Amino acid sequence: MENQENSDRMAEQNQVYQCKKCPSHFPTLTKLQTHDRRVHSGRKFVCEICQKTFKTKNHLVQHMFTHMNSEDMPLKCDQCEYRCHNKGDLKKHKQTHLGLKPFTCPECPAAYTSRHMLEYHLRTHRGK
């Protein structure tokens, strides 16, 4: 618990933890360690339908929804035809209708609806 608090304090000081195995970077040591375990552990989980491999069982489970028909997805956006299987994805999707872009670039005026898209954008500032 103390390590988590220390990591969070470092993040507040704009500390960036760079992965030594790929270009990814993270705001806390804990997130870097999670990334290392998930991405670089070498464990493989294989989709029995398309043979695509994943580093974690959870990523495989999430992927399996791509093989479902959209009408079988349990959650539906009330503003369009988008369907998904979890509340978090639906919430993120609804931000596209609201025009909310809470993830802002610290180096330019760009803003995004998801952290993933911001992280992808940040690569442009690092020449990657």
CATH number of the domain to which 87 belongs: 3.30.160.60
- Structural domain containing residue 85: 45-98
Q: How many domains does the chain have?
A: 1
Flag whether 63 is in a domain. Answer: yes
pLDDT truncated to tens, each residue of the chain (128 aa)? 455 555 455 444 567 899 998 888 889 998 888 888 777 777 678 888 887 878 788 888 888 888 888 777 789 999 999 988 889 889 888 888 988 888 999 999 999 888 888 999 999 998 75
Distance (Å, whole) CA 67 – CA 43: 22
Quote the pLDDT of residue 18: 92
Alpha carbon distances (Å) from 127 to 23, 38, 92, 118, 123: 11, 25, 28, 15, 6
Question: What is the crossing angle of helices 29-39 and 2-12, to 10°?
Answer: 110
Quote the pLDDT of residue 3: 54
Residue closest to 23 by CA, chosen among 96, 111, 127: 127
Find residue 42's DSSP bridge partners. Answer: none
Flag whether 124 is in a domain. Answer: no
At residue 111, what is the residue type?
A
Quote the pLDDT of residue 33: 87
Quote the pLDDT of residue 7: 47
